[in-house]
Structure 1
Amino acid sequence: MRARRLIAAASVAALGVLSLAACGKSSPDVAAYVGDRSYSVDRVDAVYDDAQAKYAEAVQQSAKQAGITPTPDQLRSSVTRQDVVNLLVSIDLGKRVAAEQGLQVADQVTPEQLAQQLQMPPQAEYAKLWGEWADISLVLSQKLPPADLSDDAVMAVYHAIEKAGGIQSGLSVAEVRQLFGEAGFVRSASALSAALEAETDKVDVSVNPRYRPLGVPSWVNKGQELVFYALPYIDASGPVTDISTPDPVDSPAEQSAGPVAP
């Protein structure tokens, strides 16, 4: 059977993090430092609590219309505080990279477009942050030339998607490569990863141990749905090799590729 290609937006990486103590930034009230900016634990909690509250409200309204009573588990979103930190830091670094390259980030992806796939009301700040990050990552991914990758890089992406429950488990390297097709999304995603890593070296990024490892928010198209996940950083000395010609990358609202599983 002909392999069905997996297409994803290029927004994968986990950022190189520095010891809080080593750089003199060790406040337990701070989730992350990015250069001269800090993101407090209270800020993370506020975004997280808002997401949970708005999600529960939406579920309750839907359940009331259907005449059923949701369980406590059904009222809880899968969003975590780690997801929030990943977004906040990635947005910050992504903006810096875009500014350095003179790139304009247009407001293309709206919370309303992402709401159904995120399973999050568009009024939630979490959905708004995702829309902002989608715009940044798309601009960078279309500008940065993607890298040719090793089997390790391909499998790193596979395992991240597998962890999110978005792909069949237990596949071999050959099976994953067949499933991914030309793996253009892996090459361009790793280029974005490298750009963000380089930015961490410039601006001094420090992350509270509670929120490590830090990952760049990512999405992958699985049929008619998107799987959201975060991928640990791919070291430039390993998976990333030569640079090749960029491939266009679709936004979450535009993707229409085939399913993940063979």
Structure 2
Amino acid sequence: MRARRLIAAATVAALGVLSLGACGRSAPSVAAYVGDTTYSVARVDDIYDDVQATYGAAVRAQAAQTGATPPPEQQRAAVTRQDVLNLLVSIELGRRVVAAKGATVPDQVTPEQLAPQLRVPAEAEYARLWAEWIDISQVLGASLPPAELSDDALMAVYHAIEKTGAINSGLTVAQVRQAFGEGGFVRAATALSSALREEAQRAGASINPRYRPIGVPSVVSTGQALVFYSLPYIDHDGPVTDISTPQNPAASAAAGA
């Protein structure tokens, strides 16, 4: 299947802030905890350094064909460490929801398909993670019933896309509704967000404060190009600014002893 057709149907998603509150789960060397899975700051740095190195090498190789020397700023990919952790956490939560549903994730999207519009080399691990996340989100998007389309949820998606410059700024709710049509991808985003939030709470997920607010990587097709962006968590009513992992009452009592 062509990348455009495959990805245009991919669900956008959003995950809100998960706070570090659980006892014993606040090591500064850890970027995120999701159940028994731990993502270290070093792991995030490794993926970030890899995408920057591979991107820089690709830019220099292309420039060398014309004898040019690109300035340092042109050798940096538009990827942040926050983007990296967003992917890692979303993939782990998504895998857990898929497993709970007894579903399987087909390997359909490839880094090679995504690389040109992600604007990173296909060999970068970051591109591989994006491909894996789109496969996961498509499976979940097909299995979750769409949510109601509230004004707040609609505008949360609009403002996230607005930041990329892919849509006019300053639109009213009525104008956004007209631009988004039936808003199917917003409904899907809200449904997937709710599923991820519930899984995050079950898993006791927590995020190092330096990486807040965390969001789920999202993609939508304009018909001519793909727009990659990140949303704050949105539930059935609208954006959520903080999701605190509920602490076990017994654990709380022990901590206060």
TM-score computed with the length of structure 1 as normaliser? 0.85
Q: Work out the number of aligned pairs and report it.
A: 232
Cα distance, 1:66 vs structure 2: 3.0
Name the counterpart of 2:118: 118
| Mapping for residues 85-164 of structure 1, pairs under 5 Å | 85-164=85-164
Cα distance, 1:154 vs structure 2: 0.6
CA deviations over 1:198-225 (Å, ceiling 9, x no partner): 1011100010001011101101213422
**Cα gap change, 1:220/1:37 in structure 2, threshold over 3 Å: closer, same or farther?**
same
Cα distance, 1:8 vs structure 2: 6.3
What letter corresponds to residue 109 of structure 1 in structure 2? V
Residues in 1 aligned to 2:48 and 2:194: alpha-carbon distance in whole angstroms: 28
Name the counterpart of 2:249: none
What letter corresponds to residue 143 of structure 1 in structure 2? S
What is the Cα-based RMSD across aligned positions, in Å?
Answer: 1.4
Residues in 1 aligned to 2:216 and 2:23: alpha-carbon distance in whole angstroms: 22
1:211 aligns with 2:211: yes
Cα distance, 1:23 vs structure 2: 3.3
Judging by fraction of residues, say which structure has more helix. Answer: 2
Q: Does structure 2 conserve the Cα–Cα contact (< 8 Å) formed by 1:93 and 1:199?
A: yes
Cα distance, 1:16 vs structure 2: 4.5
What letter corresponds to residue 19 of structure 2 in structure 1? L
Q: Does structure 2 conserve the Cα–Cα contact (< 8 Å) formed by 1:14 and 1:230?
A: no
Residues in 1 aligned to 2:166 and 2:64: alpha-carbon distance in whole angstroms: 30
Identical aligned residues as a percent: 63
Q: Secondary structure, in 3 states, of the residue corresponding to 1:68?
A: coil
Residues in 1 aligned to 2:200 and 2:23: alpha-carbon distance in whole angstroms: 13
Name the counterpart of 2:15: 14
Gaps of 5+ in 1: 1-6, 241-262
| Mapping for residues 161-172 of structure 1, pairs under 5 Å | 161-172=161-172
Cα distance, 1:10 vs structure 2: 1.4
Q: Does structure 2 conserve the Cα–Cα contact (< 8 Å) formed by 1:9 and 1:220?
A: yes
Name the counterpart of 1:255: none
